[in-house]
Every structure is written in structure tokens, then in C-alpha cells.
Structure 1
Amino acid sequence: MQFTLHKTDPETQARAGTIQLDHGPVETPIFMPVGTIGTVKGVHQRELKEEINPDIILGNTYHLYLRPQTEILEKAGGLHKFMNWDRNILTDSGGYQVYSLSDRRKIKEEGVKFKSHIDGSYHTFTPENVMEIQRTIGADIIMAFDECTPYPCDYNYAKRSMHMTHRWLERCITHLEKTPLKYGYDQTFFPIVQGSTYKDLRKQSAEYIAGVGAEGNAIGGLSVGEPAEEMYEMTEVVTAILPKEKPRYLMGVGTPINLLENVALGIDMFDCVMPTRNGRNGMLFTAHGTINIKNKKWEADFSPIDEMGITWVDLEYSKAYVRHLFTVNEMLGRQICTIHNLGFYLWLMREARKQILAGTFATWKNKMVKQMDKRL
């Protein structure tokens, strides 16, 4: 992997860069659509590529391990070939799923024993086998196995968890060096900063992670229920320490406003289920605010979904029609909203990049945040 930093905004820490991976360049800042189980829900790969056009998408180790299982993925030649996707993929190691399955798992130094949400069968994730699983999945960027702490979180628990995440990281690195590549292209490894919402722990973890010397770094354990201001505060603490010459990935974040505020703090990469999940529930994100398309006020509104939108659905369908689709529980409505939202998120990051390169990001960002913080 190579990361080229082209420009930093003069008034903020926002950066425009390019990550070069074996499946093509990734222009940053970037939002990665979430394709948890080998599909971005409701979107054909052709639509994803031609309309939304992301340089990279995200898959999830926990879910892919359970279904279709690594044996099938290996026979297919890896996830790229299995899902017919010739651009980049990043896999989350499953640490977040360990967090979200709190009533189904037991965490020990060796690893995590968990109960499948599908059939109740028991499985164990360790730093070692998670590295092997990600080798088999074949993502371009793979993540260290960590523990994502809840919010709120007791200080002593957060501290113990952080140190265990660091010990797991060392085991990941050691095992990864002994585990060969499978499909003829490189994989880039990112460790993850933890420490909950405690400044001293975040600082300590960021220093430890920076010292590892990985090609890129991630920030985990945020967007788990903490107030947005605490998220920004922790991000600022960490980005001040993580090396500037390497990409920074803030995991699981967030709303369009969250993205812009964190870009301003020096974050390069994002992922979140919000544009797809909220789209399936009738929420449309736009540059002028959010629309709940299920509201009666749109019943006879025959204007396009979003006259400023970049995808074909934005001008093809009216608000009244999409509301009708939700009213009659037709899946097309969910697909339309998903395509729109993903297109908007990618547009937002690409426009942010343009503004950074032009030296006008700060003014533009403040204007956009005010506009988007409205219910239409």
C-alpha cells in the first residue's frame, strides 16, 4: 500500500490523499459502503459501480465466517470473485460484532467464545484465527482483532480492555507474518486504537498503535452511543498522535454531519450502515436536510427526490411515488432510498475532497453542516 497526501486544509486538519492498493486507487476522504455479507443491501454490483462508484467497500469477518463460510470463499477464489467485485474491499475483524453480541459471548485472554445468531452454535475467535479468516476472505485491507467497549464504560474496564486489545494486536502481527497470502495480491493491515471516552487511555492507545508502524491506522470504540461532542473530542486526541503520513480510519461513523466534522479533524476513511439502514426505513439524506419520505406531507409532492442528487433515481422518481412504495410495502422504495443515500454520502466525501484541494473546505463545511441539520 502507498498513501500520498496531496493537501491539508489551511484552517482545519482535513486532508486529501490517495491510497494505492492492488485493486486500484482510493481517493480520500472516502466513505465505504457496508457490504456486510458480500452484498451492499438492495443494490446490484452494477448499480454500485456505475451509479455510486466507490473505490472501496466493506465486508465483515464475523458474518462471512458464518455465511457463506470461509471454505466456500476459498473455493471461489476470495470474496472479490465470489461477489464479482473488482475494486477494493476492507474487512472489519469482528470486534464490533463481539461488542454487539454481549449476551451471546464470553471474552477471555485467549479470545472470544460466541454463540451464532443464526443457529446457536458455538465458535471461538482468536487473534490468530481471525488473521487466517481474513487471509481467506482476501480483502485488500484487513483489521486487527480488538474488543470494542460499550458506552458508558467503567474506566478500569476500559483500561483492561485496551491493554488486552494491544496484546491481541501483537498476536495478530506475529501470526499474520506466518500466514501466506492466498490470491496473488497484497493485504494491508490496520491496528485499532481503543480507550473508550477517556482522554488518557485514548492518548496511551494512540501512542502504542503509532509505535507499531503499520501502513494505516484505525480508531474503534466510537459511535457506540456517546454524544457527538465526545466522539469529536476523542478523535481529536487520537489524530494529534497518529502519524500524518498514514491513512486514518474512523470505524462505524456516522451521519453526514459526523463525517464532515471528523474530516475536519484529520480522518480519511469512514464506514457506516446508516445510509443503507436508514434508507430502508424511508430516511433520505440531502444537502439541505433529511427527509422522512413516509410522512403524509409528501403524498402529493411530485417533485424529484433530490434535484441536486447524483444518481439516476434522484430525478427519475418523485417523492410522492417513493412514499407510495413505502405505504404499500414495496421493496423498490427501499432500493431507491438506499441508492440515493449512498450516492449522497459518496458525493459528500468527493465534494469535501474538492474543497480541501481548493483551500475552501472550512467555509464550505460550516455551511453544509448548517444546511444538513434540518428536517425537511
Structure 2
Amino acid sequence: MDFEVRDDRKPQGARKLAREREAYLLLVDQGIPYREACRIVGVNEKTGRRWRNGRNASGLNKAAPPITAVVPLPSAGPIPGEAAKSSRYLCEADRIHIADRLREKATIRRIAAELGRSPSTVSREVRRNRTVLPDGKWHYRPHAAQRRANARRPRPKLGKIGQSLELRDFIQHYLTLRWSPEQICQALRTRFPDRPEMHVVHETVYQALYVQGRGELRRELTRALRTGRAIRRSHRQSDKRAFRAVKNMVMISDRPAEATDRAVPGHWEGDLIVGKDSKSAIGTLVERSTRYVMLLHLPDGHSASATRIALTETVRTLPRHLWRSLTWDQGTEMAAHLAFTADTDIPVYFCNPASPWQRGSNENTNGLLRQYFPKGTDLSSRTAEDLEAVAAELNSRPRKTLGWETPAERLHKLLAA
């Protein structure tokens, strides 16, 4: 503490003792005894007691309230006191009761029952506002606890991301790489395991992006999210797709049980993402166990024959034991599924109409791919090398469902085995 005891001990007036009051309260909050805090600051014990407890009116002296905060921030607004107390918050009388009962060795549950509060409320109050001494011991002072609670209540507050330049730069860097907020938060815990100030949850990132007035992250980074929306929207039921008959379909109910529980690798889900005016498309394949992604290049359109040829060529790039089945929706691009099965010996199963959740991994991947191939764009201009680069970037992202491993790492383990 860069505080010096003043040499001039003549009465200075209340306004000139502002630094002394600030230093005194800081010492008391640190667990220094009242008498020792008065000696360090250089004031009489009676003055310190008047700062803590206030002063009644007597003679020419006006009444003075106790000091409730050190120095309030100009932007924080008025500090709520006892005049505006609410039953939602603990008041000073509650904190005095807690301190008295703690000295009497009463349990937290007993104190909570006497106050008509939840035990977690009392436990949290003691943990947050107690005074911890250098030797690890602690004690609970009600007036110091009240000052701490008052200092935390003013709004608005600067969020955790806005308080750390290192944390903000880390999050912004990986948002530009199109990582999801949940992937970024897990990477923070992995990269900084012993630094809790660098740990946030994904909702904190969304709040920093979307909540008006915070400005902790650049607003244009919302375009790097999967949806790319400038405002948040609730999930809505998607429009049902028209039924399109494909002959000789084998339904998903006949698919082997090993494909449903994802225990055995080699079961894939597939679909198309369509470009502007449905004139161009890209085929997507996702392995259910590893979430490994492969993209089909369809430069000649997405007819049934073109899709069958592209699928057959893609299948032959991986070992045969990694292709056990393929699940698709009832789109007409799979009308030649019997010819595909005859060429590759891979059975094709079809989902029920308007049931995208039966291909959940593929639907999720299609949403991620829309960051690279937005709706309403011409996909025919994309080359095979472009699709390989996008697939490699998706396969190198850590996935929560894989224990934060990447799909590429999981596939490499299968190939090595």
C-alpha cells in the first residue's frame, strides 16, 4: 500500500480525509484489526469507529451515516443501500445475524432456517464475503460483508472477456477460423488449465457477441458463426419437405442395430447441399462413429447417375471395412441406389419423410458447411481441391462428442488398427 502517515495531525475535515478513509476500509477488509488499522492510517480509534458505525446527532454535530463503499465508480450509478433493500437480497440485519450465529458455532442449515433462506444462499454469502487472513484462517464480519455486497451490485458491469485482452484476442482469433464458441471454450481449458481467469462458457461468448451495449467482441464476427445471423433467433420447426418416391427403398428401420448405437465404424450418412436455383450441388458424407466428413464433387449436376458415379469413386478412397452402410433421405438423386449397391456392395437405407433427425450428424455437418457454401450461391464453380480443403478444415476441428478429439484423429486410429 503506497500510503504514508501524514505529519500534520491537525484536524483536516471530512473531505480531506478521503484517502485515509479509503485506506482504512481496505485494511479492515483485509482482516487487519480495527485498532491496528487506525494506527497505520494515523487516526484515532474513535474516528475509525465513527467511520464504521456512523454518528448520531449531538449538539452542533450532525448525524453521519457509516461508510458503505470505498470510492464508487462514476459510471456505476448509486450504490444500493438499506433504504432500497429487497427481500431478494440479504440485508445488513441478516448478515449481523449470520455473524452472531457463526460465532455460536451454529450450522449453515440452522442459520438458513432461522432466516427463512436456502442453505446455499447462506453458504454462498459466507464464502463470498468472508475475510481470509494470510495464515488461511477466516472470519465473517457483517459490515465488511455488506460493503462488499454493495460494491458488487451496481450495473452495468464489464464482462470477463472485456476485462482480459489476452482472452478476447484468443476468442476472436478462433472465431475467424470458424470454430464454434463451445470448441473455443474447451480449447481455453486445455491451453490454460491452471488459469481460471481464462475459462469461460460458450454462452459468455454468445453474450459478448449479441448483447447490445457490451462490445466485448467485434460484432462482425457473428458472420463467422454457423448461422451467420446478426441477431439471435430461437429454434423453429423446419418446413416439411415434399415426399419424393424412390423405388425399391429399404427403410431405416431395417438398418442394423450396430449403426444406430455408433459402436461399429463404417456406417455413413449422406445428403446434398444445393446451390442457387437448385442448378448446382455438393454431396456430403459423414461417418457416424468418427464424424469424419467427405465431400462429393458434382460438376456435371446432381442427377441420379452423376450422384451414383461420384459416390462410387469416393467410396474407393477408403478401405472396404470402413464402408458398411449408407443412410440417405428420399431425394431423387438416389434413384440409382440399387446400381450403387451392386457396384460397391454397400447397402443404402432411407429415412422416413420429413425426418431429418434420423440423419442428425449429416444435418449438423450441412449446417457447418453453409459457412463455406452460403445459400443462394453457385456451387458449380467450386473445384475438387476446394472441397478437399473445406473437408480437411472440418475434420481438424475438435468435437465435443468425440471427447474433444478431431475426426481426423479418430479415423487415423481406425486405419492404424
| TM-score after normalising by structure 2 | 0.21
Q: Which has the higher helix share?
A: 2
Q: Normalising by structure 1, what TM-score?
A: 0.22
Higher strand share: 1
With a CA cutoff of 8 Å and minimum separation of 6, indicate the structure with the bigger relative contact order: 1
